[in-house]
Structure formats: structure tokens, C-alpha cells
């Protein structure tokens, strides 16, 4: 599913126009990106969480020449799927909490 198909599905599901659905999707994505870029986590219960993850500096290898090269430390976005999402993809019902 690409973005235009997602916009169409959201518009149909939420009974709204495609223009409004696209605005909503863009706003959600933009908010998640800005929040994670600031270093904060975004948790959507049942769906998953987005968080920044630090990668340490390390030594890599150029696959063409075999020469060692330094890879700088960086921060990357990380997504962890929630239990409900994992269960839906696996075709199971999510376990209820006691």
C-alpha cells in the first residue's frame, strides 16, 4: 500500500474527504518525525512506539576494496510494534491483560 492508497482507505474508513484524510496523515507523520528528532518517544498503545536509538561509532569495511573505514556515531529512528499489531499480523487475537 502506498500513500495515496492509504489516504483513500483512511478517507473511506473515517467518512471524510481524501483532502482531509491526507492532511491528517501528513500531520501525524510530521508530528512523529519532529518528536523523535527532538529525542522523545511516541507511543501508540496497541500499534507500537517510535523512539530515537543511538548507534556507537564503529569500524566498517569497504565491500569493493576491503579497506577499513570509520563509521561515525549517529542517532536513528526505531519502531517497535505493539502486542495488538504483532498479533494481528500473526493472525492471532491479542492476549488480554489480567
**pLDDT-based confidence at residue 95 (cuts at 50, 70, 90):** low
Task: In whole angstroms, give the CA distance from residue 48 to residue 66.
Answer: 39
Strand partners, 20: none
**pLDDT-based confidence at residue 94 (cuts at 50, 70, 90):** low
- Sequence ranges of the domains in the chain: 1-38, 44-83
- Report residue 4 as a C-alpha cell: 495515496
Task: For residue 43, give every residue at least 6 positions away whose Cβ sits within 8 Å of its Cβ, in sequence order, or none.
Answer: 49
Q: Is 15 left (phi over 0), alpha (psi -120 to 50) or beta?
A: left
What would the pLDDT profile of 6-16 be if each residue is shown by its tens digit? 999 999 999 99
What would the pLDDT profile of 34-65 be if each residue is shown by its tens digit? 999 999 999 999 999 999 999 999 999 999 99
CATH number of this structure's domain 44-83: 4.10.520.10
Cα angle, residue 82 at apex, residues 54 and 57 outer, rounded to 5°: 10
> pTM above 0.95?
no
Amino acid at each position: 500500500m502506498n500513500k495515496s492508497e492509504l489516504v483513500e482507505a483512511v478517507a473511506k474508513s473515517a467518512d471524510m474527504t481524501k483532502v482531509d484524510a491526507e492532511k491528517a496523515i501528513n500531520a501525524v507523520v510530521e508530528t512523529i518525525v519532529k518528536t523523535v528528532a527532538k529525542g522523545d518517544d511516541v507511543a501508540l498503545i496497541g500499534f507500537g512506539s517510535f523512539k530515537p536509538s543511538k548507534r556507537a561509532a564503529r569500524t566498517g569495511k569497504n565491500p569493493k576494496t576491503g579497506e577499513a573505514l570509520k563509521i561515525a556515531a549517529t542517532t536513528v529512528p526505531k519502531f517497535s510494534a505493539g502486542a495488538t499489531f504483532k498479533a494481528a499480523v500473526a493472525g492471532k487475537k491479542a492476549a488480554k491483560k489480567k
